[in-house]
Chains A and B, each alone.
Chain A
Amino acid sequence: MALSLFIGLMLNLLPWSGIALLLRPDFVALILLFWSIREPRRMGLGVAWAMGLMIDVADGVLFGQNALAYSLAVYIALILHRRILLFSPWQQTFYALLLLLLLQFMTLLIRLATGAAFSGMSYFASSVTGALLWPLLTLLLQLPQKAEPKRDQI
């Protein structure tokens, strides 16, 4: 879990630019949401908050902005995790999209409150790509979990 978060952070810190930056999903947010839905006991708000702070400093934005947005999204994911787990993968993707949009909307709200200009609807594009990555992420992060019981059976 820690490793996946670290990789997510690394992916976020890669030097993205131009259109790729616009489409770049927020990997850290995705992975945080994934774990808070799958492993709500081991995933805490504290982790989300700390990751948010790191992103704040790395991006040089208002201190605490991403921290608040991440905590909110993870909080909602923690509350809804039982419900979301019951859904089919595609419905889960939809839920992920909603959560990511909420996260971005929160950030947008904070930015607008501090006097930034809205840069257009393309701002939300990264949520869509993020949600599209959800099934892939589910597959990837569950690989190590599926391998374990087999070893026990032998």
Chain B
Amino acid sequence: MDHHPPPFFKRGPSTLARFAFFAALSIVLMVGDIYQNYLSVLRQGVAVIVSPLQRLANAPSELAERVGGFFISQAFLQRENDRLQQQELQHAAQLQGYQATQTENAHLRKLLDARQQSAQTLLLADVLYAGRDPFSHKIIADKGTVHGIATGQPAVDDIGVIGQVTRAYPFSSEITLLTDKDQAIPVEILRNGMRAIAFGQGADGTLGLAFTPMNADVQTGDVVVTSGIEGIYPAGLPVAVVSKIERNAAVAFARIICTPSAGVGLHKQVLVIVGDRRKEFQTLAAPLLEPPAKPVIKGKVKRGGGIAR
């Protein structure tokens, strides 16, 4: 073997220079991500590479689950079947009442000459994993833009709202949960119809009703539902239950803490509402929804501080 002298001068730029280059590039990316949405194309590109890897990483646990499901006991299945049948019966009874109400509602709406609310289409998505970022509450679902998911669509479970799609990639989507610090949802109190905005509180997994006056008629145990005012969440979906009220004279507003009613962050599957109402709303209010990557309601909060009153 012949030996070449080691290439002394073939190192390229110094490590420091390269580090400075990459650091600057990262900072540019971060700033770009915060202030503009130019980078969504780049992000989607990387997402296309990463999402098959995600699926591959999830494969073993999925397989284990399937194998585990195969060996489930007969007794367990029987019990579950019984329970589900009973539930089905109850639901059927409720549904009959619902149908009657709906016809009546349609009739009344016609009388009032009001706009008809179109039915919602639901899309079942599997949760790939919970976001690993300890600072935010997000889940990644396995359906994306090719399945009809778009940014801003609400996500629900069998009880109520759990969050909103904040980023839609071609084959997966990111759902920000209600408990995330940046997430807001317009709500009303079912008992008296008082409107408010619920904000996620971050770490402790609760919601807070913001901008509610001191003397607001709120009681512990009140059920909080979506108001449907902004046209993104359908009206009347359960959101939370008021669990604690603090009225401190030093602050202008009452501090109202709610516990989410839906299993936020518990599920393997979520339903995304792929409705037509949203599109209708978007064409109406397109100029209001400038930053589509952010939770869409944010802009509304700033504009309509009076909503809570």
By a beta-carbon cutoff of 8 Å, the part of chain A in contact with chain B is 9-17, 21-22, 24, 44-46, 48-49, 52-54, 56-65, 67-68, 71-72, 75, 78-79, 110-111, 114-117, 119-120, 123
Size class of B's contact patch? 35 or more
B130 at the binding interface (Cβ < 8 Å):
yes
Tell me the smallest distance from the CB of B180 to a CB of chain A, in Å: 10
Q: Are B29 and A67 in touch, CB under 8 angstroms?
A: yes
The listed residue with most B CB atoms (<10 A of its CB), out of A9, A57, A78, A79, is A57
A10, A52, A119: the one contacting B57 at CB < 8 Å is A10
B207 at the interface (CB under 8 A from A): no
How far is the CB of B134 from the nearest CB of chain A, in Å? 5
How many A-B residue pairs have C-beta atoms within 8 angstroms? Tell me. 129
Specify which chain B residues have a CB less than 8 angstroms from the CB of A72 in the assembled complex: 19, 23
Known: A61-B135, A71-B26, A114-B34. 19 other contacts (CB 8 A): A10-B56, A10-B57, A13-B53, A17-B129, A49-B25, A57-B46, A59-B133, A60-B167, A62-B34, A63-B29, A64-B26, A64-B29, A67-B25, A68-B26, A75-B19, A116-B202, A119-B135, A119-B203, A123-B134
| Chain B residues proximal to chain A, CB less than 8 Å | 15-16, 18-19, 22-23, 25-30, 32-34, 39, 42-43, 46-47, 49-50, 53-54, 56-58, 60-61, 128-136, 138, 140, 167, 174, 181-182, 202-203
Q: Which residue of B lies closest to A68 (CB)?
A: B26
The interface residues of chain B lying within 8 Å CB-to-CB of A44 are 18
Give the CA-CA distance A53 to B49 in the complex, in Å.
11
Instruction: With both chains docked as a complex, state the minimum distance between the C-beta of B25 and any C-beta of chain A, in angstroms.
Output: 7
Q: Select one of B27, B28, B136 contacting A116, CB under 8 A.
A: B136
Q: How far is the CA of A44 from the CA of B14 in the complex (A)?
A: 11
A65 to B23, CA, bound (A): 10
Nearest CB in chain B to that of A53: its residue:
B46
Bound Cα distance A14, B42 (Å)? 24
Quick one: which of A11, A58, A116 contacts B54, CB cutoff 8 A?
A: A58
